[in-house]
């Protein structure tokens, strides 16, 4: 690819400039304490808040990020030239970044050297770039603050791809920085050169190729604004090595070049639309709330809305924790592996209030049959999602937090005049809860995986931050752990990326040093990023790993049982020549990294083993051996409707 072609890869970069020894542009302010510069997006103002992390994070209702309480003081004197890499690191500091997940290489060495000169930023060294980007996601998902990961060019950059795609699908604010070959070598197939801007164009919210060292402050500021405003998402910044090495005097107060983006950000909701929603609520007899990750920052407003109306709440996988699962109005999760009563409520409802959701296929199944009796109200921050899969009767393109605040105000003003009474509807749903509870069977001394999660919930009081891999264990963790608040539940939803759980737990532990962080993992997912045990040990992160080990790729085995006559097609993960032994021995992985570990095989020993895991200071791995015949139930087959729900059976039955 020619250099001129590559230069077009970012729509917001400056034109190509030849390398110069020093850029002597003057600073528009003093970096001395007498005239400090604040950080966190103070250049931007917009009618919409900077939303948080997670699906269309329709939240955060302030119009501008406030500057931090302390003044930023540069370690460089006014007008003092410094390398582009040092400008980049200071730009991160000015955005409030305290932690990054960065793995060095030839094209990013200058950035790492600059990081060693920072007294503010801590680098948590992953053992694989995918571990780094998933850790940055765990950091963002659990804190609401953008996660930052850094990788070198070529294979380092391409190792970030799964994490960027995951953040894009789940709307996670992420800033990924990659080293690139020097500008003069771009397009020559140089050593460790990949056009990462082109590779990631469709899986990032935006990306940049930095072609002028003077653009670094503006680009970093814009990247954080883009990652967190509107519907959050990942932004990539590709920095050629000669730009990192070039000396310059930074210009910190450059105006953003985002006029088109700013003009498209949603405005505050129209009050007449909110009045219309309240009218539909008052006319409804069987309303149900369908809430997703877009509500993560509007949990309090949602709880107030439920308090004012008494409408039951069904949550998506990404929305778990937005509304307390233990609340009597919670229907828990809906969708393919949702509760019977949540899916029943949606099927029988006459009004579906869809807040911060995208009508994903794993929720809706057969679209024509989903909520077919209901009028649909859709509130979402992303206009592209409204009407994409399911046409709503009333739609509001807005921050869910602002919309709920407006709706609650109308409800409070109208008060008793509305005379909302859904007691018959709630009674009907309570009968479904009694008739079709989440349940499982026990076979002899074997440990039901669902029971292991119930015990963990009991012993942690439902207060742990839980990360997962992808598969059966993920669904059981969604069903049987009773999440109390937002940002407790970290999982790869849209992409379904195995190997997510362990590095995500690292990010959560870094962002929440006082929290109990548990990675509920499966043996297949765990081994995909098992090398991150080394990071956990070196950083002494108190990550607990509850490994549900069934020696199989469990969810695929379940589909084989149900739809392929139990024909095993490469889903056994053990050693076929010695099936009686657990293989690989996960305890040896832990031992190799100096992490305490234990194995439990009998149900009667499980509670004490989990308690010991929680009581042991620092990291701990508990290998829980579970039967591979278990199925995640209920289950609505892909493309099916509520009438097709499966509630019985497992791998011990023939279909």
Give the active site residues.
129, 191-192, 241, 555
Which contiguous run of DSSP H or E holds residue 396? Answer: strand 394-397
Give the other-Cβ count within 10 Å of 243's Cβ. Answer: 29
Strand 517-522 and strand 375-380: the pairing is unpaired
CA distances, 380 to each of 58, 293, 311, 402, 469 (Å)? 7, 11, 19, 11, 27
For residue 567, count other CB atoms closer than 10 A to its CB.
Answer: 9
Other beta carbons within 10 angstroms of residue 617's beta carbon come to: 8
Instruction: Specify whether the backbone of 374 is left (phi greater than 0), alpha (psi in -120 to 50) or beta.
Output: beta
Nearest to 213 by CA among 14, 414, 497, 415: 14
174 sits in which H/E element: strand 174-180
State the DSSP H helix or E strand holding residue 149, giving kind and residue range, or none if neither: strand 147-151
d(CA 596, CA 616): 9
462, 588, 590: which is closest to 536 by C-alpha?
Answer: 590
Residue 576, judged by CB atoms within 10 A of its CB (0-12, 13-18, 19+), counts as exposed
- Which positions ≥6 away from 388 have C-beta within 8 Å? 358, 359
Q: Which two tokens stand for residue 405?
A: 């605040």
Q: Which helix (H) or strand (E) holds 332?
A: strand 330-333
Q: Are 534 and 553 in contact (CB under 8 A)?
A: no
Given a contact cutoff of 8 angstroms between Cβ atoms, the answer to whether 559 and 529 are in contact is: no
> CA-CA distance, 62 to 40, in Å (whole number)?
13
Are 458 and 500 in contact by the 8 Å Cβ rule? The answer is no
Residue 473 neighbours by CB distance under 10 Å = 32
In Å, how far are 74, 81, 99 from 22, measured between CA atoms?
A: 19, 7, 30
> d(Cα 430, Cα 650) in Å, to the nearest integer?
26
Q: Which residues pair with 386 in a beta bridge?
A: none
Per DSSP, 54 falls in state S
Give residue 242's Cα distance to chain centre: 34
Measured CA to CA, the distance from residue 232 to residue 172 in angstroms comes to: 6
The vertex-367 CA angle with 361 and 372, nearest 5°, equals 135
What are the E-state strand segments in 527-611?
Answer: 543-549, 597-600
Query: CA angle at residue 485 from 481 to 491, to 5 degrees?
Result: 60
Cα angle for residues 585, 589, 591 (degrees, 5° grid): 105
Instruction: Tell me the helix, strand and coil percentages in the chain, rounded to 5.
Output: 40, 15, 45
246 near 20, Cβ under 8 Å? yes
Contact 157, 104 (CB under 8 A): no
| Cβ proximity of 175 and 224 under 8 Å | yes
């Amino acid at each position: 690819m020619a250099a001129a072609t590559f230069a077009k890869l970012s729509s917001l970069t400056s034109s190509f400039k030849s390398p110069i020894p020093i850029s002597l542009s003057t600073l528009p302010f003093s970096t001395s304490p007498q005239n400090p510069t604040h950080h966190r997006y103070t250049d931007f103002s917009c009618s919409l808040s900077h939303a948080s992390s997670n699906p269309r994070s329709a939240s955060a209702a302030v119009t501008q990020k406030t500057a931090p309480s302390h003044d930023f003081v540069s370690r460089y004197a006014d007008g003092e030239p410094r390398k582009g890499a040092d400008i980049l690191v200071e730009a991160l500091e000015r955005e409030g970044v305290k932690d990054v997940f960065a793995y060095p290489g030839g094209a990013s060495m200058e950035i790492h050297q600059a990081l060693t000169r920072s007294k503010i930023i801590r680098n948590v060294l992953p053992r694989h770039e995918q571990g780094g980007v998933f850790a940055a996601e765990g950091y963002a998902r659990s804190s609401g603050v953008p996660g930052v990961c850094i990788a070198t060019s070529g294979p380092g950059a391409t190792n970030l791809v799964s994490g960027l795609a995951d953040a894009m699908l789940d709307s996670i604010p992420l800033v990924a920085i990659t080293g690139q070959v020097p500008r003069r070598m771009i397009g020559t197939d140089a050593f460790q050169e990949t056009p990462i801007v082109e590779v990631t164009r469709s899986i990032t919210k935006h990306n940049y190729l930095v072609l002028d060292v003077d653009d670094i402050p503006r680009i970093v500021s814009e990247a954080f604004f883009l990652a967190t405003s509107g519907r959050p998402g990942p932004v990539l910044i590709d920095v050629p090595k000669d730009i990192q090495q070039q000396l310059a005097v930074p210009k910190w107060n450059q105006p953003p070049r985002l006029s088109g983006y700013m003009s498209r950000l949603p405005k505050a909701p129209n009050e007449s639309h909110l009045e219309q929603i309240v009218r539909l609520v008052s006319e409804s007899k069987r309303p149900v709330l369908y809430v997703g990750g877009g509500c993560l920052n509007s949990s309090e407003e949602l709880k107030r809305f439920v308090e004012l109306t008494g409408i039951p709440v069904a949550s998506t996988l990404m929305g778990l924790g937005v509304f307390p699962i233990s609340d009597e109005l919670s229907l828990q999760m809906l969708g393919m592996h949702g509760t019977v009563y949540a899916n029943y409520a949606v099927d029988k409802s006459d009004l579906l209030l869809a807040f911060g959701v995208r009508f994903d296929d794993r929720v809706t199944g057969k679209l024509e049959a989903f909520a077919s009796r209901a009028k649909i109200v859709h509130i979402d921050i992303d206009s592209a999602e409204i009407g994409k899969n399911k046409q709503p009767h009333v739609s509001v393109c807005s921050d869910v937090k602002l919309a709920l605040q407006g709706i609650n105000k109308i409800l409070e003003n109208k008060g008793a005049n509305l005379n909302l009474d859904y007691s018959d509807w709630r009674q009907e749903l309570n009968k479904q809860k009694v008739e079709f509870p989440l349940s499982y069977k026990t076979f002899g001394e074997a440990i039901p995986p669902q029971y292991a999660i119930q015990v963990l919930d009991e012993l942690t009081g439902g207060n742990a931050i839980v990360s997962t891999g992808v598969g059966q264990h993920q669904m059981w963790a969604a069903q049987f752990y009773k999440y109390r608040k937002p940002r407790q539940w970290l999982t790869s939803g849209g992409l379904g990326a195995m190997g997510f759980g362990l590095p995500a737990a690292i990010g959560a532990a870094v962002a929440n040093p006082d929290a109990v962080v548990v990675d509920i993992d499966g043996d297949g997912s765990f081994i995909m990023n098992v090398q991150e045990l080394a990071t956990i040990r070196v950083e002494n992160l108190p990550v607990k790993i509850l490994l549900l080990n069934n020696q199989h790729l469990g969810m695929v085995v379940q589909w084989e049982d149900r739809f392929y006559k139990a024909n095993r097609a490469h889903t056994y993960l053990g050693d076929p020549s010695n099936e009686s032994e657990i293989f690989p021995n996960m305890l040896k992985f832990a031992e190799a990294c100096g992490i305490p570990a234990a194995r439990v095989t009998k149900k009667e020993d499980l509670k004490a083993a989990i308690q010991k895991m929680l009581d042991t200071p620092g990291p701990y791995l508990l290998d829980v051996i579970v039967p591979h015949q278990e199925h995640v139930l209920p289950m609505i087959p892909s493309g099916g409707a509520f009438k097709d729900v499966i509630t019985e059976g497992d791998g011990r039955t023939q279909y």
